[in-house]
Amino acid sequence: MSTTGEYFKSRVLITGGTAGIGLATAKRLLLDGHQVFICGRSAEKLAAAQTELAGMDVASSIEGTVCDVRDSDAVSRMVDQAASVMGGLDALVNNAGVGRIADVEAMSVEYWRDMIDINLNGVFYCCKAAIPYLKSSPKGNIINIGSRAGRYAFPGGTAYNATKFGLQGFSEALFLDLSKYGIGVSLVAPGAVATGFAGVEDEDWHLQPDDIAKVIGDLLRNDQRANVNWIEIRPGLRDLR
């Protein structure tokens, strides 16, 4: 699918689309002319996000649903709903994720399981449910939102690093599985983003959600012959360890 001239307008499902990077991505993609379906765990946050997106000049409304990506059955229903509403599915943005910073001795079993279930199992469930639709798309794409923590460990990151290192490997192997169908797979790995994620206080040198959303929008413009496997985004105002 060539990007010369008028580029392909995708039907995009964004998980964790009610705030932060997910909401910024929904705005960017709507402005670019794509169709967007969002999901989140909170009905209240979903309604607020839909209201905010509906106020944009490019769209009077936006479809979405409540979904906990830890529940594989709920994910299957959500993906089916998104494809039904949009008349198909061309791209999946796996953005839903959680993070907690704690030494391994202080990390509870519940926190560990929660991060594995959302950051890894949830991505698998979403991909598994979306692939049949993406195979029917003229330009299928999966974009996984990882982290620089997927390559660089930090103190207190045993669980979070484990999930993001795992997502890196999953994404690279997934590309090899799906390349025969012409489905692109990309991993976007930002450094610190000003979203209050994992309880980290925002600082003026942090990346902004819009920075990540722009990269995702650019990925959807790419020709399918050029798969971008990994994009690392570092704050430009200050180095990170």
Q: Give the residue-averaged pLDDT of 25-38.
A: 96
Distance CA 156, CA 149 (A): 11
Domain 11-233 in CATH 3.30.300.90? The answer is: no
Residue 206, pLDDT score: 67
- pLDDT above 60: residue 239: no
- pLDDT above 60: residue 2: no
Instruction: Give the H/E segment covering residue 163.
Output: helix 158-178
- pLDDT above 80: residue 240: no
Distance CA 61, CA 12 (A): 15
- pLDDT above 90: residue 62: no
Express each pLDDT in 112-135 by its tens digit.
999 999 999 999 999 999 999 999
What are the extents of the domains in the chain? 11-233
Burial class of 21 by CB neighbour count within 10 A (0 to 12, 13 to 18, 19+)? buried
Helix (H, G, I), strand (E, B) or coil at 232: strand
For residue 100, what pLDDT band results from cuts at 50, 70 and 90? Answer: confident
Instruction: Give the H/E segment covering residue 31.
Output: helix 20-31
Express each pLDDT in 64-86 by its tens digit.
999 999 999 999 999 999 999 99
Please name which of 94, 113, 116 lies closest in space to residue 188, comparing C-alpha atoms: 94
- pLDDT above 80: residue 217: yes
Instruction: Give the H/E segment covering residue 87.
Output: none
Portion of the chain with pLDDT greater than 90, in percent: 76
Residue 60, pLDDT score: 52
CB 25 within 8 A of CB 200: no
- pLDDT above 90: residue 10: yes
Express each pLDDT in 144-190 by its tens digit.
999 988 899 999 999 999 999 999 999 999 999 999 999 999 999 98
Residue 47, pLDDT score: 96
Residue 205, pLDDT score: 67
Q: Give the residue-averaged pLDDT of 1-25.
A: 84
- pLDDT above 60: residue 5: no
Instruction: Point out the residues that are catalytic.
Output: 160
- pLDDT above 80: residue 192: no
Please name which of 188, 178, 180, 13 lies closest in space to residue 91, comparing C-alpha atoms: 13
Helix (H, G, I), strand (E, B) or coil at 11: strand
